[in-house]
Amino acid sequence: MLARMSLRLSGPFLASLLLACSGGAIGAPEEQAAAVDTDGGAAGDALGSDPCEAKADGSYCGDKLGLDRTTLFACAGGAVDKGTACKDGCFARTADGHDDVCASDPVDPCFNDDDGVYCGAEIGGDARTLYTCKGKRTEKSEPCKDGCFSNDDPKAADACASDAVDPCFNDGDGTYCGDAIGGPAGSLYRCKDKRTASIDACGAPGCINEPGGIGDMCNGTVACGNVQWWTVALTYGPYKSSSGWWDTDLAVSKDTPVVLRHASKLDKTGVYGWGYMPEFTDQVTGKRFRMLHLRPSAQNATQVGKIYPAGFVVGLSGGDTADTGLPTYSTGAHLCIQTIEDWRVVFPLSKDACK
């Protein structure tokens, strides 16, 4: 014969008992979610205590309450008020706090990223901020005054943009001498979409910093196969013309490639009765000069203001045709060089290095 027993059940214990007996069918759906952990076990300990008992009112990730770690629970008055499933997991702001939230980029951009350094735009944070992520938390954030530079190599850390990171970071598409954009002198950078697309080593001749909007270029060297016309014999002059320029005729045969001795800026160009005549300022000596009797059909230097490199073929010599001055301004094939100062002051006699 069984003895009759009388049990006095506390509210929480009774609730948990009823929950267990009814298969969790009581209460609202969110209360059911709050009461069952990831293993399907009943909430609370063997005495039927509420997970929120002795907890301050607030929000808690489930693992702080012995419940599902991906669910955010609200505690109120020492009892579970409701549970919210977090699709990206639950984010505990501090180990013992009661202000937890569902994880998201606005909460912490690092919440679902590996340890590393990232531009905010890469992880859902501020685009002009550099984040250091550690343990799914932002360990440090640094404002980037010139913007953040996302490294193309996914294994490499991002960085605040600077010339040290990439000299092209704040330059438009084009070619630039390194020293013009914060890189090393003597290198030519090709910039594309704020990144360095390629780098050319200009070597001993150096890089030409072109004026206003013209793409920079590596300086050149006179090709050994081309005539160094400043060393050939004179056929006439030098004499000072009525225009104030010194006129010097050189023994250069027809259709000879006429090159620049040094990098030179094109000041003026045109075609006249004596042929194509470009006018330059030598960027090494600062001296002005112009070339006469070049063929109009071979005008290679045409962009006024541009600095053309040493060794650049300006055009082809003439003097033997009507469109290069014959017979009014020329008696035959030759090259005429006009200078503001005496011929040998502007073009000292020497054989230059070539390649």
pLDDT at 66 over 80: yes
**Cβ(79)–Cβ(85) below 8 Å:** no
What is the spatial distance between Cα 6 and Cα 277, in angstroms, rounded to a whole number? 120
Residues of the chain with pLDDT > 90: what percent? 79
Predicted confidence band at 242 (pLDDT cuts at 50, 70, 90)?
A: confident
Q: If you ran DSSP here, which 8-state letter would residue 29 be given?
A: H
What's the confidence (pLDDT) of residue 338?
98
pLDDT digits (tens, 9 = 90+) for 168-217: 999 999 999 999 999 999 999 999 999 999 999 999 899 999 988 899 99
pLDDT at 4 over 50: no
The CATH fold of domain 229-346: Glucose Permease (Domain IIA) (2.70.70)
pLDDT at 38 over 80: no
Predicted confidence band at 30 (pLDDT cuts at 50, 70, 90)?
A: very low
- Return the domain boundaries, the chain: 19-102, 116-160, 174-218, 229-346
What is the spatial distance between Cα 268 and Cα 291, in angstroms, rounded to a whole number? 11
Lowest mean pLDDT among 6-20, 58-72, 114-128, 314-328: 6-20
pLDDT at 23 over 90: no
Predicted confidence band at 24 (pLDDT cuts at 50, 70, 90)?
A: very low
* pTM exceeds 0.85: no
pLDDT digits (tens, 9 = 90+) for 119-166: 999 999 999 999 999 988 899 999 999 999 999 888 899 999 999 999
How much is the average pLDDT of 243-255?
Answer: 96
Cα–Cα distance list, 17 to 24, 41, 210, 264, 270 (Å): 10, 12, 86, 96, 103
What's the confidence (pLDDT) of residue 212?
81
Beginning with the edge strand found earlier in the chain, give each strand of the sheet holding 58-61 in spatial order.
58-61, 71-76, 79-85
What's the confidence (pLDDT) of residue 49?
87
**Cβ(335)–Cβ(317) below 8 Å:** yes
pLDDT at 25 over 80: no
How much is the average pLDDT of 292-313?
Answer: 97
Torsion over CA: 97, 99, 103, 105 (sign):
negative
What's the confidence (pLDDT) of residue 78?
94
pLDDT at 1 over 60: no
Local structure of 142: helix, strand or coil: strand
Distance of CA 158 to the CA centre of its chain: 12
